[in-house]
Structure 1
Amino acid sequence: MKTSSSQAPLAEDEVLVTSTTRFHTSVGIAERLEDLSADPPEIHLQTGTSFTRITGAPVAGGWRFTGVPRTEYSLRTDSSTRTSLLTSARHVDIGTHRIGRVDAVYPSVDWVPVQLDVRNLSPWRRPSGTYQPGSSLQAVAMDVDLLGDLLVPEETTPEGATSIVTDEAVLLSYNRMGIPAFQSSAGDRMYVHQLGEFIAGGMPDGTRVGYSAVERSVHLPPLDFVPAWETTPLSVDAELQPLALQEFPLDWRLSEFARQAVQVHPRALPGTVWFEVHPTPHTSAEQWMGDAQPLLRLILPRGTASDFASQLRFGNPYPSDWDVVGRVNYSTVFATQMPGNPARTVNLLGGYTAVEKLEDLASGPIVPKLSPPRSLRIDWKSASTPHEVSSVHPLISWRPPAVGTPTAYQVIVRQFFPQVGAFVSMGAINVPGSIQELRVPLDMLAPGSHFYVSVLAIDAPHWDVEHAPLATRERAPYRAAMTYSSIFTVAP
């Protein structure tokens, strides 16, 4: 990581904020120091029960603040998401990781037509229910950033087909920036994967549960393609090859996750339950988990509370020096009435999530290694009871979880917007694990509106929350368990 050593020395009351983006490709990592002037960071200093805003000024390679005492302060890193962190560091790098070349171009197009000719498929299966996902095709690139699906017309793709020839396919990208421009001279290639349907087992009520997993793949030669809304279709002509299927013994003690629901909120119930397997592109899981399409995805019936064991299988077409991680999710839901309008019900969501190396998950039963924070309070009142707060800067406090030792916490504030009928995040504050209370900073609460707050206990030993909060968070292992409040109202 770049440090302030290339900058003028910092005075006693100065803070330097930089943003270094690291671009991962098959040939290594390239770094780019970003210009922060389009969305400059801010420092919010707590003064009693309120805050003072410090705006800082640009310097070569970063943003410098003066007048910051050597104590904890709140650093706003993103104005659009109102993401901030509580830190006392004198130099903070708010950069992130990305997949793809540093000079890659993304024309802001999220789908294009495809002329598709793929052969040697595993016999095609159509989806036949919630837990029978059928066959599907993925499109993935790792030297430019592409995570997408190749969608084929269902009505002309017969059951059992081992080839698909159509000019009515679509490449749909899930990347924030859309489909990249491919340059053969730069070695830009695309994977095409076929995911097949496998059976994981049965539930106590007799429901048969299937899952999707990669079983065939091809790595296309370098190609040239510039996406545009009106463009010559992307041509995909390939013969897929079967992959050796790895086995993973899933022993998921879901009953132990279900017992944690009342710790999330006294009235919370088990919600969505899923498990995925992902590669970590170009790097180890301890360095960056990366963004990649799943190699395997299993969804269990909503509210499942019975232990589940299965022998899962998946193919992995990627280089052997990439790690593979498992992503565990067990959510909860609390259906609550809106204050002043008992006829309107909204869902408050929380739960447990974890990302760990697959071999670590296979070493024993999957159980919660962290429980939610305890005794969540707002201005020292129990947060599970709806009430009104008198300030836009109330004090949020909690006690450490009963299971596990957090290395950090994250506090998220959400506001109800009647126009969309849902709660929307108004910001997240990341704090070190030694902190167990904070005041809601600037620009998150508004008088007369309805909110709820959630606190995540996070066990992420490689996350440097104070000095590099974004670049180091996406490292395995990562475990998070949430508790949340009932709806509260800010006094007009």
Structure 2
Amino acid sequence: MMMPRSSSLLGTTCVVWLAGCGSGASSSEREPQATGQTLLADDTVLVTSTTRFYTSVGIAERVEDLSASPPEIYTYDGIRFSRNTGSAVPGGWRFTGVPRGEYYLRADPINMVDILTSARHVDIGINRLGRPDAVYTNVDWFPLQLDLRNLSPWVPWTGDYQQGSSFQVVSSEVDMMGELTLFEAFPEGATSIVTNEAGLYSYLWTNIPVFQADRGDRLYVNQFSEFIAGRTSDGTLVGYSSLTRSVHLAPFDLVPSWEEPLPLPISAEFQPVNEREVALDWRLSEFARMAPEAHPRAVPRGSSFAVRPAPHGPADGWVGYAGELLWMDMPQGTASDFTTRLRFGNPYPSNWGVVGSVSTLYFSPTQLPSNPARFINLASSYTATEAIEDLTAGPVIPKVSPPRSFRIDRKPASDPQRVSSLNPMISWVPPAVGKPTAYEVKVRQYLPEYGAMLDLGSIYVPGSVRDVRLPPGKLKPGAECYVTVTAVYAPLWDVEHAPLSTRDTVPYRSAGAFSSFFTVP
């Protein structure tokens, strides 16, 4: 179970937007002093971690202590890798003896996140929603006592593509997004719900935070209703879920606990919300035609469309996760174009933006080398997220395609193979469509004891790079793995200097190619 996030967050905090910090210098004016670039020797790298908290009154920054999970650097001299553990310095972690040129920064040793960079200063902080002094618990579920009135007529769940009515909960004061779940059925058409058989689930790794009424901590409770978007070319009905009603609860106190928790009472009258309509011209046939570029034997598995709020922005292009306003899943294997008009409600403040996302999954059932009678689904995807008006301004088509000439140790990655070492070379050439600003290389290992894939972490790579050698720790002897290389167009993603905080920015488009299984000696 995840321990409270606040226990490992140390350092000072200042608000740098609206409220200001120090003299109010711009980010460009603060850069030399903040990074210490002029104080670094030629062979020195400084790694810092600055968490940015997005709130209704601005953005607060906090410099974090890296000692609990210190970063590492790996350099390759053409023959072997060398590991550099660095040492703590005030405000960060310093490495000496790092030659000029590219190196691998293991920003997150626990989750094996690596950055290929040549920068002398890298900030590996992240962005979060909510106030910086919030306390997060190890509780991800909490019982509720509900008295909900003036709902949209209730629709029971009838299938994967007709999901009926549901609830989401979102806070703008603390980092909380989750689901309000009912443990009993309610009749079709019901407009009120009174029950003790309900619970609050957190979707986030931070779990459920402590709520403080005197700090103004509140929740939006949003009702989603089912609508019909149309039919596919073979007549299959396509439904979608859309936000129709909402209530913004008054500030309340809550200290989540696993020890005999008393249900949190929620008594509220829901209200209709302002609605918006978007026209969607989704050229699914073009996404389906791209499947062989992901893998010669790949087929499209499923496609989805979503509309999401962008809390407090998107400031600096960053989009945090605060649930959905609408989502729609197409029936598996749909490869025909789909045109429709969709409506969704939005209860959030006018300074919250709205983004749209599309995704298509490609997969290939692949023989397991150690057990040819067993087939495992290997996969990659196309994803795009941008302002909703930009995404739907014209036909939705692929604007970046998977990398080409994808190879492992100079052999086609789509061929099953045994690599020569624990550090094979992964190479590619740019895609036929789009101009990537970055690439993501991700390795996954099959775990026979669980019948599942284990994510071995990503390598984030600048868009000018055409190959990487897997650094130490990615592969284990005897493992059965596959690798994906994803071309990314994200002009605001600063891979080399701020790889984690700028990754989830808009516009963002990506398309991945995936290998067949390879075995490790």
TM-score bucket (shorter structure): over 0.9
Residues 369 and 285 of structure 1, relative CA distance in 2, 3 Å threshold? farther
For residues 240 and 280 of structure 1, the distance between their equivalents in structure 2, rounded to whole angstroms, comes to 23
For residues 345 and 313 of structure 1, the distance between their equivalents in structure 2, rounded to whole angstroms, comes to 41
Spell out, residue by residue over 1:202-260, the C-alpha distance to the aligned partner (whole angstroms, 9 max, x if none): 11222111110100011111111111122221111111101122101011000000000
Is 2:168 aligned against 1:159? no
For residues 58 and 389 of structure 1, the distance between their equivalents in structure 2, rounded to whole angstroms, comes to 37
For residues 244 and 414 of structure 1, the distance between their equivalents in structure 2, rounded to whole angstroms, comes to 44
Q: Which residue identity lines up with residue 195 of structure 1 in the other structure?
A: F
Is 2:329 aligned against 1:309? no
For normalisation by structure 2, the TM-score amounts to 0.92
Match of 1:238 among 268, 285, 303: 268
Q: Percent identity?
A: 58
Spell out, residue by residue over 1:7-53, the C-alpha distance to the aligned partner (whole angstroms, 9 max, x if none): 58111111000000011111111111000001000000002132100
Whether the 8 Å contact between 1:138 and 1:193 is mirrored in structure 2 is yes
Q: Which residue identity lines up with residue 46 of structure 1 in the other structure?
A: Y
- Residue pairs, 1:212-223, within 5 angstroms: 212-223=241-252
Whether the 8 Å contact between 1:248 and 1:311 is mirrored in structure 2 is yes
Q: Which residue identity lines up with residue 217 of structure 1 in the other structure?
A: S
Match of 1:330 among 356, 360, 368: 360
Give the aligned partner of residue 262 of structure 1.
292
Whether the 8 Å contact between 1:285 and 1:476 is mirrored in structure 2 is no
For residues 238 and 214 of structure 2, the distance between their equivalents in structure 1, rounded to whole angstroms, comes to 45
For residues 189 and 179 of structure 1, the distance between their equivalents in structure 2, rounded to whole angstroms, comes to 13
Spell out, residue by residue over 1:444-491, the C-alpha distance to the aligned partner (whole angstroms, 9 max, x if none): 112222111110000000010000001111110000100011111122
Is 2:239 aligned against 1:183? no
Deviation of 1:3 after TM superposition, in Å, equals 4.6
- Residue pairs, 1:476-491, within 5 angstroms: 476-491=506-521
- Residue pairs, 1:467-482, within 5 angstroms: 467-482=497-512
Match of 1:431 among 454, 461, 480: 461
Is 2:238 aligned against 1:172? no
Q: Which residue identity lines up with residue 148 of structure 1 in the other structure?
A: G
Residues 384 and 414 of structure 1, relative CA distance in 2, 3 Å threshold? same
Give the aligned partner of residue 309 of structure 2.
279
Q: Which residue identity lines up with residue 301 of structure 2 in the other structure?
A: G
Match of 1:93 among 110, 119, 123: 123
Q: Which residue identity lines up with residue 171 of structure 1 in the other structure?
A: L
Whether the 8 Å contact between 1:414 and 1:426 is mirrored in structure 2 is yes
Whether the 8 Å contact between 1:369 and 1:404 is mirrored in structure 2 is yes
- Residue pairs, 1:88-487, within 5 angstroms: 88-155=118-185, 157-229=186-258, 230-284=260-314, 286-487=316-517
Whether the 8 Å contact between 2:184 and 2:197 is mirrored in structure 1 is no
Deviation of 1:422 after TM superposition, in Å, equals 2.0
Deviation of 1:166 after TM superposition, in Å, equals 1.0
For residues 293 and 64 of structure 1, the distance between their equivalents in structure 2, rounded to whole angstroms, comes to 38
Q: How many residues align?
A: 490
RMSD: 1.2
Is 2:73 aligned against 1:43? yes
Q: Which residue identity lines up with residue 452 of structure 1 in the other structure?
A: Y
Deviation of 1:154 after TM superposition, in Å, equals 3.2
Q: Which residue identity lines up with residue 178 of structure 2 in the other structure?
A: G
Is 2:94 aligned against 1:64? yes
Is 2:137 aligned against 1:77? no
Deviation of 1:63 after TM superposition, in Å, equals 0.1
Deviation of 1:159 after TM superposition, in Å, equals 1.3
